[in-house]
């Protein structure tokens, strides 16, 4: 998979072995259920944390493609498991 100088790409990947085989320029491996690449439905705080982690892969000029990083949820995103205190 190529990348032009004008467009940088980041993949959010649910299957580690696929990212290892395809080798996109930048990939964030997330440990969530299939169909939930941004984590818990209805929980924007957790979803935003995933997006921010993916975009941070674009900020580090020391990273040379291909890059595969594991996602680690921030502690404040973990605290709100149910999306706002609903039972």
Taking the model in full, what pTM does it have?
Answer: 0.78
pLDDT digits (tens, 9 = 90+) for 29-82: 999 999 999 998 999 999 999 999 999 999 988 888 899 999 998 776 555 454
Other Cβ atoms less than 10 A from the Cβ of 79: the count is 10
The domain limits of the chain are: 11-73
Return the SS3 of 2: coil
**Closest by CA position to 83, among listed 41, 51, 50:** 41
pLDDT band at 83 (very low <50, low <70, confident <90, very high): very low
Residue 28 host element (H or E): strand 26-29
């Amino acid at each position: 998979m190529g990348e032009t100088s004008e467009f940088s790409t980041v993949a959010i990947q649910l299957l580690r072995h696929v990212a290892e085989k395809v080798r996109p320029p930048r990939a964030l491996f997330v440990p969530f259920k299939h169909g939930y690449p941004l984590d818990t439905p209805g929980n924007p705080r957790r979803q935003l944390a995933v997006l921010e982690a993916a975009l941070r892969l674009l900020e580090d000029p020391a990273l040379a493609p291909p890059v595969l990083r594991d996602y680690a949820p921030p502690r404040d995103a973990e605290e709100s498991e149910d999306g706002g205190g609903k039972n």
